[in-house]
Amino acid sequence: MSEQKKTRPKVPDGHSRFCLTRQMPPNEKGYVGYEVIWEQFQKEVEYQTPKKP
């Protein structure tokens, strides 16, 4: 029987509406992780104290 390959194939970047997923390089144990980058979908507004009556 054939053995499993030692290298992992390169996976293309995944694009979603608010998210980007990238494959990271393997570490010393051979684990291949994925990096997830989120785009903000809510706008932050600076807080202003309300006027006193």
* Total number of domains constituting the chain: 1
Give the per-residue pLDDT at 20: 92
Where in the sequence is the domain holding 35, given as residue range(s)? Answer: 10-39
Residue 53 lies in a domain: no
Sequence-distant (6+) residues with CB within 8 A of 18 are: 38, 39, 41
Sequence-distant (6+) residues with CB within 8 A of 21 are: 13, 14, 34, 35, 36, 37
Q: Please give the single-letter amino acid code of residue 15.
A: H
Residue 46 lies in a domain: no
Give the per-residue pLDDT at 8: 72
Kindly report, residue by residue over 8-53, the tens digit of the pLDDT: 778 888 999 889 999 988 888 877 788 999 988 888 899 999 998 8
**Residues 33/43, Cβ–Cβ less than 8 Å:** no
Residue 16 lies in a domain: yes
Give the per-residue pLDDT at 27: 81
